[in-house]
Amino acid sequence: MPPGETPPGEDSTGAEAGPRGDQARGWGKGPVIILAVIVLLCAAFFIAYAVIVAL
């Protein structure tokens, strides 16, 4: 490289940047189903509680 020239910069995206393998695909079906069941059970509990208290 001649004197006075700016050397090229480093690559902004390295091999270790970003998620690897299956991590880039998001959540699997299992955790989503389990979370949905828990949310539905909680909602059913509060609805049943509200109905019982209203009587």
In this prediction the pTM is: 0.53
Q: State which residues form the domain around 46.
A: 28-54
- Is 2 domain-assigned? no
- 1: in domain: no
Q: Per residue in 24-37, pLDDT tens?
A: 578 899 999 999 99
Residues 6+ apart with CB under 8 A from 24: 18
Q: Which two tokens stand for residue 53?
A: 């208290």
Q: Considering the domain boundaries, does residue 19 fall inside one?
A: no
For residue range 35-47, list pLDDT tens digits in order: 999 999 999 999 9
Total number of domains constituting the chain: 1
Across all residues in the chain, what is the average pLDDT? Answer: 80
Q: Where are the alpha helices (DSSP H) in 1-55?
A: 29-54
Mean pLDDT of 8-24: 59
- Better pLDDT: 23 or 47: 47
Q: What is the distance between the alpha carbons of residues 37 and 15, in angstroms, rounded to a whole number?
A: 39
